[in-house]
Amino acid sequence: MLHLIKYQFLQTVREWSVMFWALGFPVILGSLFYMSFGTSIGNGNFGEDMEVIRTAIVEEDKQTDDKEVFLSFLEELDGDVLETEVMEEEEALLALKADEVEGIFYAGKEPGLTVAKSDLQQSILKALLDTYKKNTEMIKAVGTAHPEAIGEAVKALEEWRETTEELSVGGRTLNPNISYFFALIAYTALSGVYLGIKACCESQANLSALGARRCVTPTHKLKLILGNFFVLFTIQFINVTALTGIVQFVFQIDLGGNAGGILFINLFGSMIGVSLGTLVGSISRFSLGMKMGFGVLFTLFPGFLAGLMFGNMKNLIEQYCPVINRINPAAVLSDSYYCMAVYNDTERMARNLLILAVMCAVCVAASFIVVRRERYDSI
């Protein structure tokens, strides 16, 4: 048994093309995710900074206190949120029509806003104007009802800050972009299918000379399958752990404080990837190329459903057809990482791991049944 394990290990790690798809490609994909979401991702600031919104300001001729206050409000936003420029009304309308500015603020006795379309930038401009009007009305109401409290009201507005923080039920900050990296780790775990397919094809007499030599040995088929599975599982667990380490320590993405829990899920993820590959590789009537094609299908499609390409896909499936998330190994793995790193829901994680264990057992049992029934007319 040790002899089989030793040479299966050497044989597998020397297959550079298979090792690339099992580890190299996920690392490249993770690097692209990291560059897409911005280099500040490690500090929890996913995505690039929002660009300032180009805005024109049209001043009315009449000088009023309301006009000066509104201009001061816009001046404070200039450079951070807005890029303002004072224009004549005709010039501002031409700039708006030519998409040189996103909106026009009118500074007079009654502040106003003109936009040419309804988009994110225009919604932000409207929200700014609405906020200004509400705060102004509030100050006027306080001044009328309680003149002595006007100073405190102004001070409260000046010290305004965000008073809510998005947290999970377990108390950890939940950033939606982290779902891509959980789906990436799940995809990497499923990429063990390539290792399983390659190893099984090298054990079949009709596909390789090595398979022919193995078939004439008196070694029990179950012993061959279990030996191969142990080696492939070990290699794939190292691959998944390496990818997890790169995400955690190189990309500086917080996957949660429970490293042991993440590794424990990696174990089950490695097993389901290899066992699925073992099952596909055991079907002798397909060529190696066709089996590798099935491997691509069994990794990318479940990864897509788990949110690898579209982060909200798993949530949409959970809303309309949750049974798919229960039988999709990538979604089950992704959800397990969430349970450990974000939700801190051990009961839900245990259910997910039980589903993965059942999947592994079914795949290994089916592989043994398929291989056990194989017979060759001539070897």
Q: Which residues contact 305 (CB under 8 A, 6 or more apart)?
A: 313, 314, 317, 324, 325, 328, 330, 331
Enter the pTM of the model: 0.62
Residue 292, helix vs strand vs coil? helix
User: What are the domain boundaries of the chain?
Assistant: 2-43+175-372, 53-158
Q: Which residues contact 248 (CB under 8 A, 6 or more apart)?
A: 254, 255
Check: CB of residue 71 under 8 Å from CB of residue 80.
Answer: no
- 168 Rama class: left (phi>0) / alpha (psi -120 to 50) / beta: beta
pLDDT reported for residue 149: 63
Question: For domain 53-158, which architecture applies?
Answer: 3-Layer(aba) Sandwich (3.40)
Whats the size of the chain, residue-wise?
Answer: 379
Helix 25-37 × helix 178-190 angle, to 10°: 170
From the list 258, 256, 263, the residue with the least C-alpha distance to 240 is: 263
- Tens digits of residue pLDDT in 11-30: 777 888 888 888 889 999 88
Distance, CA of 259 to chain centre: 19
Q: Is the dihedral of CA 208, 210, 215, 221 positive or negative?
A: negative
- Tens digits of residue pLDDT in 194-251: 988 887 777 665 556 565 666 666 666 667 767 777 888 899 999 999 999 998 888 8
Cα dihedral 224, 227, 228, 230 in deg (nearest 10): 160
Q: What is the mean pLDDT of each run of 10 residues along the chain (379 residues)?
A: 72 81 88 71 47 85 74 79 86 90 85 82 84 77 67 56 47 64 91 86 64 62 71 91 90 79 91 89 77 87 89 85 92 88 78 93 84 57
- Alpha carbons 373 and 366: distance in angstroms, whole number: 11
State how beta strands 103-107 and 82-86 pair.
unpaired
What does 23-46 look like in DSSP terms, one character per residue? IIHHHHHHHHHHHHH-GGGGGT--
From the list 206, 195, 280, 205, the residue with the least C-alpha distance to 240 is: 195
The strand pairing partners of 56, in sequence order, are 85, 104
What does 109-147 look like in DSSP terms, one character per residue? SS-EEE-SS-SHHHHHHHHHHHHHHHHHHHHHHHHHH-G
pLDDT reported for residue 219: 63
- Alpha carbons 200 and 262: distance in angstroms, whole number: 29
The CA–CA distances, whole Å, from 336 to 252, 271, 285, 306, 358 equal 21, 15, 35, 12, 15
Q: Which amino acid is at 276?
A: L
What's the half-sphere exposure (Cβ side, CA atoms, 13 Å) at 132?
A: 23
The CA–CA distances, whole Å, from 7 to 81, 164, 239 equal 62, 58, 19
pLDDT reported for residue 46: 41
Q: Which residues contact 135 (CB under 8 A, 6 or more apart)?
A: 157
- 254 Rama class: left (phi>0) / alpha (psi -120 to 50) / beta: beta
**Two tokens at 247?**
């995400």
Check: CB of residue 253 under 8 Å from CB of residue 43.
Answer: no
**Two tokens at 233?**
């599982």
